[in-house]
Chains A and B, each alone.
Chain A
Amino acid sequence: MRTQLPVAIAFLSGFIMVIAFFVPESNLENFSQNLLTFVTIVGGFTLLLGIVSILRANIQVVKKRGKEWGFKLLLILTLLIMSISSFIWGTHEGTVYHWMFQNMQAPMMSTMFSLLAFFIASAAYRAFRARTKEATILLITSVIVMLGRIPLGQFLWSRLPEYTDWIMAYPNLAVQRGIIIGAALGAAAMSLRIILGIERTYMGRG
């Protein structure tokens, strides 16, 4: 029963979604849309699980004064302040939640994202070292593409952007499409395995 019921639900849901893709009957379309809405609702309820998980893991460390317990305490406090303040005063402009989001959370997230520039530089340095024939081709191609995308490239040679566009539009796009077609077929095969109940590994047992 533990595996049969989820398999039956997966089969019915998948089958209905496939039928709704081909049959434009409005009730069927509404039903498939409702199924998708249902996923969002279930996701909302499971948020409670997430909060329980995060509190359980961090409260234990704080209680035992474990490693870096101060950071854990800060996490618990900010979680409580942001959630409680949003319940009491809402999330609109001028509230505690909004101030904390705009002045603390958003700049911290932007900082994390901006670190990507440095990581790209270090990864590119490793990837573009001309140790093999393939790596040398990659290096030459990347130099053409990078120079062709900036004004300096056009200044050095006016036709460089044309070559950049050709590389992006033909060899690069062809490889990307090959990967996408393969991935789409793989996703379809996996979906078929799930709908037919052959693939059960995602349920924990089997």
Chain B
Amino acid sequence: MFQILKLLQVASLSLFLCICIAYSHPAQAENDTLTAEIASPVDLAVKDTPDDGGGSLTLSWKPSPDDKEKIGDIDGYEIFRASRGDTTLKLITLVPDNTTSFTDTGLDNKEEYIYAIRAKNTPFYSPLDYSNFARPKINWFRTNRTNMLVLLLIFSASVLLYIRSAKGGKSLFIRKLAGLEAVEEAVGRATEMGKPVLFIPGISELDEIQTIAGLSILGRVARITAQYETPLVVPVLYPMALAAAGEVVKGAYLDSGKPDSFKPDMVRYVAGEQFAYVAAVNGIMLREKPAANVYMGAFYAESLLLAETGFAAGAIQIAGTANPEQLPFFIAACDYTLMGEELYAASAYLSKEPLMLGSLKGQDLIKILLVGCIILGVIFEVFQIGNGFFTKLFLEQ
């Protein structure tokens, strides 16, 4: 009888303890081996990860007093997770010591989650520190990109404003681009010599904006070669650029009223590898001896291989790229070079359409704005004014 009473006493005490633990924390860790040989991390907080599309929570905590600055003081921190309704906490990760935050991803936006953390220094574990419940949510705007949105809006507004004023008949001054003025001269020279014009639209795929800029210039060059009935050769590296360049050249010949002069083989797919392409194009330069070589688009290590061969072949050469590291090579080996933005401005410059020219003026306005920001930023940072406003505006966001 006494033993039964003692058993009942132990059982009720255990039940009481279980109820107390269950009410204080909704779930318990798996393989809980609590010891007090190592101090616990504290103030575990969990909140929705900002600027994301949901499914993620960010945890932060203050490190265990036993986690000193030296790496390897402890093994790290074990992080446990449970959703509301779970009976046990599940170990999700072990983060290294000196870590005070963790982002948990792949969560359900409809669920609420609770987290627990403990320090681990084998064979010891600290007591668990629990977080509050939190639910991940979808954020509808990346606040860390606000500065870019503002710049985009100002940029779009200035471009549209100038386009509108150009539509209204206001004449817009655009400085002369010698490289583009020389295109007609180069084609004329090729016509006089009875040699073809070689146009290379870069070695990037059609998803590269420089290739699109190059194709726009190709349209203009093809119109001139169509008028003069000068042979045109366009070797390409990517099949998608082949299709687009083919359409551009065909369109230019149709617009010039010379559809019969267009030959599908003018635009050729010559190779799918960078240096195989160089070998093929250099072969064209040395065999067919084009009188004018036009390089417009994205170029990489092959820029000088092509331009030097063209120079050796005695062709007049016009190049344009937005890759700054390739510009010195083109400047050294070509007669005219379009640098960076000039490549993108070429189609507007050549078309002389007010709508296109308006976008160039809008671009200039933003450039003035950025130059102003750079000057102000330098002054503010040098004289320590504004509490790092410009650094925050351009670097930290």
* A interface, CB within 8 angstroms of B: 18, 21-26, 28-29, 36, 39, 42-43, 46-51, 53-54, 56-57, 60, 67-68, 105, 108-110, 112-113, 115-116, 119-120, 122-124, 126-127, 176, 179-183, 185-194, 198-199, 201-206
Instruction: Tell me if A57 and B268 are in contact (CB < 8 A).
Output: yes
If A53-B268, A199-B347 touch, whether A25 touches B138 (CB-CB below 8 Å) is yes
CB-based contact A124/B287 at 8 Å: no
Whether B355 contacts A198 by the Cβ 8 Å rule is yes
Contact A105 B276 (CB under 8 A): yes
B304–A116 contact, CB under 8 A?
yes
Contact A186 B344 (CB under 8 A): yes
The residues of A that contact B333 with a CB separation of less than 8 Å are 123, 126
In the bound complex, do residue B272 and residue A50 qualify as a contact, i.e. CB atoms below 8 Å apart? Answer: yes
Which residues of B are interface residues toward A (Cβ below 8 A)?
51-55, 138-142, 145, 148-149, 152, 155-156, 159, 163, 205-207, 209-210, 212-213, 215-216, 219-220, 238-240, 242-244, 247-252, 254-255, 264-265, 267-270, 272-276, 278-279, 287, 301, 304-305, 307-309, 322, 324-325, 327-329, 331-333, 339-345, 347-348, 351, 355-356, 359-360, 362-363, 366-367, 370
Let me know if A26 and B55 touch, CB within 8 A. Answer: yes
> When A123-B333, A204-B219 are in contact, do A54 and B363 touch as well, CB less than 8 Å?
no
Q: How far is the CA of A188 from the CA of B148 in the complex (A)?
A: 12
Q: Which residue of B lies closest to A39 (CB)?
A: B207
Residues of chain B with a CB closer than 8 A to A188's CB: 155, 363
List the B side residues contacting A186 at CB < 8 Å: 322, 340-345, 363
- A108 B276 Cβ-Cβ under 8 A: yes
Contacts A50-B272, A123-B304, A180-B324 hold; do A202 and B344 have CB atoms under 8 A apart?
Answer: no
User: With A46-B242, A185-B341 known to touch, is A22 a contact of B149 (CB < 8 Å)?
Assistant: yes
> Apart from A26-B53, A109-B273, A187-B210, what are 10 other A-B pairs with CB-CB below 8 Å?
A49-B269, A112-B279, A123-B307, A123-B332, A123-B333, A127-B328, A182-B367, A203-B251, A204-B219, A206-B251
A32 to B342, CA, bound (A): 30
Known pairs A124-B332, A186-B344, A189-B363; A176 contacts B324 (CB<8 A): yes
User: Which of B53, B148, B279, B347 has most chain A Cβ within 10 Å?
Assistant: B53
Across the interface, name the chain A residue whose C-beta is closest to B54. A26
Contact B270 A54 (CB under 8 A): yes
CB-nearest residue of chain B to A54 = B269
